[in-house]
Amino acid sequence: MGMTAVELGKAIKDGQVSVVQATQACLDSIEACEKDYNSFVTVDREGALAQAEEVQKKIDAGELSGPLAGVPIAIKDNMCQAGVQTSCSSKILSNFVPTYTAEAVVKLQEAGAVIVGHTNMDEFAMGSTTETSYFGETRNPWDINRVPGGSSGGSAAAVAGEEVTCALGSDTGGSIRQPASFCGVTGIKPTYGRVSRYGLIAYGSSLDQIGPLAKNVEDCATILEVISQYDKKDSTSVNRDDNDFTSALVDDVKGLKIGLPRDYFTEGLEPEIKEAVYGVAEALKAKGAIVEEFDLGMVEYAIPAYYIIASAEASSNLERFDGVKYGYRTSEYTDLHNMYKKSRSEGFGPEVKRRIMLGSFVLSSGYYDAYYVKALKAKALIKQAYDKAFEKYDIILGPVAPTTALKMGESLSDPIKMYLGDVYTVPVNLAGLPGISLPCGTDKDGMPIGVQMVGNAFEEKTIIRAAYAFEKTREYKRPAQVSERGL
């Protein structure tokens, strides 16, 4: 598990290790670490080993030869997998076993990856700390007294803690990039429509995107290449023929125009993070990139617009969880309406209820125009601001979060503070753009700092190229606890 996904795939292909051995090593690592991290909701031990044997047969027969063949991978607990509990880390779906598999997961399976389990997350992906899970909070492998970020905190922690080499997460307002930053790993949020959302349990349908979390840019590009395929089952899926992301893994940024938004480096950003991000700009400048500061605009409207739109979509999407067809149903009720109310009040956690109530409020007849319509207009203006910026720049460079990983419990006591922590990530989702987060240093407490590179729509190759070039200037750092385990 100390290898990258691509390194492990090559070792399997060369016969240095079998798929069963790799899967067993992964399962052993999960068993050893879970008491500290709680990264997983479900570990499918028997299913994973059975998959491993099948994949090995196909590799031996020459039917599978891709870079991910035989590599164990984890998926976030909001992606359906036939026959395996998929709960969105919520009590209301704690007994739900899907009959079909999410398209992105199917693509991984077709490439020979072995799905070992489902990672913990904020309930229904609502949160930035992975503390709202019905199955308990996940802890950061760099410091188990700190959060791993969210909502894909389980996936990020599992990769950083070397329980798996790579994982899938989903990003509605920064839920791949922020935990990647907090856990010192790399994560890509693709352009909206690049990866099929079929089988992803929806939070905000116009914002959600599936993407990879891994140790480096090469792994992320390799996984993204596998899962980015047109899917007629998803009406928002875009048919593209430029999914060869590994071709962008070149250490060359000469002439690349990089913009640093002044709006991102104002009050509220920790000085160490500001210094680290400027350090990335200097490193890319030294390799031939052109770096300029500019005014992006509309940044102050991103948080209110995002939380109105996401909550409105959540209140609609979560209406289906009523205890009738599937999921949790209260044991005692008097009539149908009482059953609805009790099942939902007992099944959903506080943060999910908060967002359902907010969403129902902004969609109500008296407030629809005042809030929801205005939020949609703000979303359009944010997209225009990015369009204008990309007329001049190839990449927008900035921080991922205003702070490094917070201590457990610090955010839950103040939800507004937690919402404001998404200020650098949510505009990217509102505009439907691709973004990558990768490590660029540590703070005074030794916690990882991430840098975010944002590209124009469907320009994943540009951000992968820049991220790969920067990554070449530094070594991957493991959490001290992982190094001490001697994996």
Please tell me whether residue 37 adopts helix, strand or coil conformation: helix
Q: Using an 8 Å Cβ cutoff, are 437 and 410 in contact?
A: no
Chain Cα centroid distance, residue 270: 23
- Rounded to whole angstroms, the Cα distance separating 233 from 228 reads 14
444 is a catalytic site residue: no
Taking alpha carbons only, the member of 400, 351, 3, 478 closest to residue 182 is 400
Set 87, 155, 175, 437: catalytic member: 175
- Rounded to whole angstroms, the Cα distance separating 6 from 66 reads 10
Taking alpha carbons only, the member of 477, 324, 345, 353 closest to residue 415 is 353
Set 18, 76, 189, 315: catalytic member: 76
Set 151, 152, 181, 311: catalytic member: 151
Q: Which residues contact 295 (CB under 8 A, 6 or more apart)?
A: 261, 262, 263
151 is a catalytic site residue: yes
Element holding 119 (H helix, E strand): strand 114-119
User: 242 to each of 187, 283, 459, 461, how far by Cα in Å?
Assistant: 20, 28, 9, 9
76 is a catalytic site residue: yes
Tokens found for residue 404 = 């490094």
Please tell me whether residue 455 adopts helix, strand or coil conformation: strand
Which residues are known to be catalytic?
76, 151, 175
